[in-house]
Structure formats: structure tokens, C-alpha cells
Amino acid sequence: MTVILETQGLVKRFAGLTATDNVSFTLEEGHIHALIGPNGAGKSTLIHQLCGNLLPSEGRILFAGQDVTRLAPAARVALGLGRTFQVTSLLGEFTVRQNMAVAVQARLGGNLRIFDRMTGRREVWEETDELLGKSPLGKRADIIVDDLSQGERKQLELLVSLAGRPKVLLLDEPMAGLGHAESLDMIEVLKGLRGTVTILLVEHDMDAVFALADRISVLVYGRIIMTGSAEEIAGSADVREAYLGNEDELC
Ligand code: ADP
Ligand code: MG
């Protein structure tokens, strides 16, 4: 097993509050690793430090063996540490296929926003269609993004992140706001990524977590109280107590 992402003694303090409290955590290459915990446990704060939107107060972040603790977000993306959902923005008045092409083009270099110049670049469109072909969205390639359902938009945001060919994807609640059927679609899309990209998945939807995760870590008051398989987490008295103590559901 290879560790691709690791934190060592990570601490993030906001005025009077320790949102990340000495978190040492490893992500194995190829895994889908879920991070769960009650509201306010510090899940998003941890993700923001991993992608570089927030600098830690203490500790280190290692990505593929390199210390990235103080690197800017764009430099981390360039190394293959993919951004979360919330950072991605889509071009609403363009088609699914055009949005994908912009993302592919961004990785290959060259003009970002000028479609006219881009139409000549065959490799951009080939890779765009290959990525779309593997997704249920392939059937919706010529639809304008503003006309997509919420679930389809989320799928496109995910595909756009993949266009950067990340080694690791950090996903902060990709099912948020989706209906039941849309969540099931998203679970299928994420399942299809297994083996091609390592994923750290923050998610409230426990059906999704149990369907997808190879490992689960439980964060409570900024600390990881347990890491284990789905069975170990579901059967843990400590985890149950932590959630009951918060009068919150297992999420
Ligand atoms: P989660 O994603 O697990 O719900 P967050 O990481 O969003 O939790 O928040 C963890 C704690 O840190 C919460 O108490 C939240 O209010 C606090 N917090 C998050 N961001 C900030 C910030 N920028 N400034 C001050 N406090 C913050
Ligand atoms: Mg959050």
C-alpha cells in the first residue's frame, strides 16, 4: 500500500476555537476514504487546508512524499491534488461538451476562454469525448449547462475536476442538495472512478458512504476518533457515543 496524502499533527485554530485538533491521517493510493462527523466537526476546515484555501496553524501536509503545507492551491492542483466541488465553476451558457473542453484545454495549456481557437485542437476534443463517453452525461453533451438538473451539474463539476487528471480528488459533500435518484446516480459515477483516482470523500449521506468507502474516518470536535472499515465504524460504541453526545445522527 502506498500513502499518497498524509497529514502530521495538523492544527487549525480560529479565534478561541480549535477546528482541527492534531489530525494525523493517511490516505492510501487507490482508496475511496470517507470522512464523516457531526456538523461543525471540522470536516470542511480539514479539506480547505488540504487544498490550500486555508493555511494550518501547526503541522504538515505531505502529498506524494512532498511537503505541500504552504503551497498555493493552484500549485497543489498542478501536482495532482484535485480541488473540491465548491471551487469549481461552470460556464452556464455553454454546453456540457464545451465546459469539458475548457477544462481539458486548461490542463493542456493554451488559450482558456477562446472557443474559436480551440476548435482546431483535435486532442482537446478527443479527450473531452473520451471523458464524457465514460459518464452518463455523455448522452447530454450538447445540452446547455443552465438547462441541466442539479444532479447533472454535480456530475459535470466532478468530470471537470477529472479533466485536470488529478491523482487525488477532495470532495466535500458531493451529494448535498441532490434527490434520492440523483444521489444514486452520483454513487454510480463515483464507483466508476474507483481505481483511476484516489478520493477523500466528506459526505453526510451514509448510504453513499457505506456503498463507496474502503476506509472511514470519524472526526469529532476536530479530532479523528476512529478510522476503520464500514463494519468497524458501524459497530463502534465510541462512534455511536460521539454522535449521541452531539444529539446528531450518524452523518
Ligand atoms: P464541518 O464541515 O464538519 O461541518 P467546519 O469545518 O465547517 O465543520 O467547521 C468547524 C468549526 O470551525 C465550526 O465550529 C465552525 O463554526 C468553525 N469555523 C469554520 N470556518 C471558520 C472561520 N473561517 N472562522 C471561524 N470559525 C470557523
Ligand atoms: Mg462542511
**Quick one: which atom of ligand 1 is closest to the CA of 46?**
6
pTM of the model: 0.90
Q: Are 25 and 215 in contact (CB under 8 A)?
A: no
Distance (Å) of CA 78 to CA 122, 127, 140: 23, 18, 29
Strand order in the sheet with 168-172: 81-82, 168-172, 198-202, 32-36, 215-220, 223-228
Residue 87's pLDDT is 43
Q: 241 vs 149, which has greater pLDDT?
A: 149
- Considering only CA atoms, which of 58, 46, 84 is closest in space to residue 218? 46
Nearest ligand to the CA atom of 172: 2
> How close is the Cα of 41 to the center of ligand 1, in Å?
8
- Ligand 1 interacting residues, C-beta cut-off 6 A: 14, 17, 19, 37, 39-45
Averaged pLDDT, 138-158: 93
Q: Which residue has the higher pLDDT, 35 or 109?
A: 35
Which mutation among 10, 12, 17 tests ligand 1's pocket best, with the greatest number of atoms within 8 A of CB? 17
* Residue closest by Cα to atom 7 of ligand 1: 44
Q: pLDDT-derived band of residue 6, with 50, 70 and 90 as boundaries? A: very high
pLDDT at position 250 over 80: no
pLDDT of the residue at 21: 98
Span 211-223, pLDDT tens digits:
999 999 999 999 9
Domains belonging to the chain, first-starting first, are 1-80+166-251 (3.40.50.300), 92-164 (no CATH)
Residue whose CA is at the smallest distance from ligand 1 atom 12? 19
Nearest-angstrom CA–CA distance, 150 and 243: 30
Is the model's pLDDT at 23 over the cut of 50? yes
101-138 pLDDT per residue, tens = 988 888 877 655 555 555 557 888 999 999 999 888 99
- Average pLDDT taken over every residue of the chain: 89
For the stretch 150-169, pLDDT in tens is 899 999 999 998 988 899 99
Give the residue ranges of DSSP H helices in the chain. 43-51, 73-79, 96-108, 115-118, 122-133, 150-163, 180-193, 206-212, 230-234, 237-245
Q: What is the pLDDT of residue 69?
A: 98
Q: What is the pLDDT of residues 54-111, one digit of tens each?
A: 999 999 999 999 999 999 998 999 899 987 554 457 889 999 999 999 888 888 776 5
CA distance 220 to 227: 12
Nearest Cα neighbor of 20 from 34, 35, 33, 32 is 35
Mutate to test the pocket of ligand 1, among 45, 57, 248 (most ligand atoms within 8 A of CB): 45
In the chain, pLDDT over 70 holds for what percent of residues?
Answer: 90
CA of 175 to the centre of ligand 2 (A): 12
**pLDDT for the residue numbered 240:** 85
Residue 251 pLDDT exceeds 80: no
Among protein residues, the one with the nearest Cα to ligand 1's atom 24 is 14
